Amino acid sequence: MKQNSRPRMDPRTEGIVHSIAGGGAVVLETLLNYPLDTLKTRYQLIKSTSCMESPSLHKLMSSMIKNEGLISLYRGLPSALAMQVPRGVVKFGTNYYIQHVSYNWLVRKEGVNSHVMNALSGLMTGIIDGIIVCPFEYVKVRMQSSDYRYTYRNCLQCLLEPRNYRHVWNGLECTLWRNGLWHMTYFGLLQRQKQSNDRFVKNKWHDFAIGCAGGGLGSVFSSPFDVCKSRIQNMPTQTLPKQQIPWALGMVYTLSRTEGVSSLYRGFVPKFLRLALGGGVLMLSFEYILNGFETVYWFTAGHVREPSF
């Protein structure tokens, strides 16, 4: 069958399908890579002026398993999963709609560079994503932290504690910087999300490789704000008046002066592994889930497509 004979979804339907596929993709990525996220947070909360005092990745993981049990690598997982579905909807659904509008009005009519529009749509997607996930991130960080190992038995207890629920937006500014920069890099490196009629003409392992590159490079730019976010969200709330919450750029500067520039990249190895591998898994699983939805769409439309693999 010729490529141009395939039916194309209307933009609204395809946007909804992108949202659903994105939600499923981020849940799968979280289940696979969550231990790396826990290790990243533990590293980021180490306050030291020398990176040489930080344990190796293997030593830290072995110590956690030995002293706290294997389950310690998955503390806070319910909070992470709870935020991933709306996050996936935003990550791919909102980005698709933004791209659709920008391509119709700016790229085609005004001649704006498409890669610039990809990056800007990713930035806007990341800002919206940061607003959604901040309360979940707050709970997740406190569950992953060794400081609250014996304080909270589960995510719900952490969230409902009177000292906490008033502070779930702590670290919002750092979260916006972190998510905005990561999404801008990730979607900026990707081509425009493929339309349904050209999805099967490209190798999905190419998408995996590009997703890995985008996720890894995005972690380079977002890491300093991620460290600051974890530090803020781990602060004791009973001694944290609102005016004491530092600004994101000010905290980045303070950490670089007091603990060295290397402190801004503490936990970078597990973060890079998580986001590079996660970026590839995210894009690959997103494409496969979308493949299934579009197969059903074409089948119900009375068309038969050739195998894509």
Q: What is the pLDDT, as a whole number, of residue 301?
A: 63
H/E stretch holding 110: helix 108-110
Q: What is the pLDDT, as a whole number, of residue 192?
A: 46
Q: What is the pLDDT, as a whole number, of residue 118?
A: 79
Distance CA 227, CA 174 (A): 9
**Alpha carbon 54 to chain centroid, angstroms:** 25
Buried b (16+ CB within 10 A) or exposed e, 216-253: bbbbbebbbbbbbbbbbbbbebeeeeeeebbebeebbe
DSSP letter, residue 308:
-
In sequence order, the 6+-apart residues with CB closer than 8 A to the CB of 196 are: 6, 8, 9, 14, 294, 297
Question: What structural domains and CATH numbers belong to the chain?
Answer: 10-300 (1.50.40.10)
Reported pTM: 0.81
pLDDT in tens, the chain (309 residues): 344 445 566 667 777 777 788 778 888 888 889 999 999 999 999 887 555 567 888 999 999 999 999 999 999 999 999 888 787 777 777 777 776 676 666 656 566 666 777 788 888 889 998 999 999 999 999 999 999 988 888 898 888 876 666 788 889 999 999 999 999 988 887 754 444 434 444 566 777 888 888 889 999 999 999 999 999 999 887 655 555 788 999 999 999 999 989 999 999 999 999 988 888 888 788 878 877 877 777 777 655 444 444
Distance CA 14, CA 256 (A): 45
Distance CA 145, CA 131 (A): 22
Q: What is the pLDDT, as a whole number, of residue 107?
A: 57
The gap between the terminal CA atoms of the chain, to the nearest Å, is 15
Q: What is the pLDDT, as a whole number, of residue 53?
A: 64
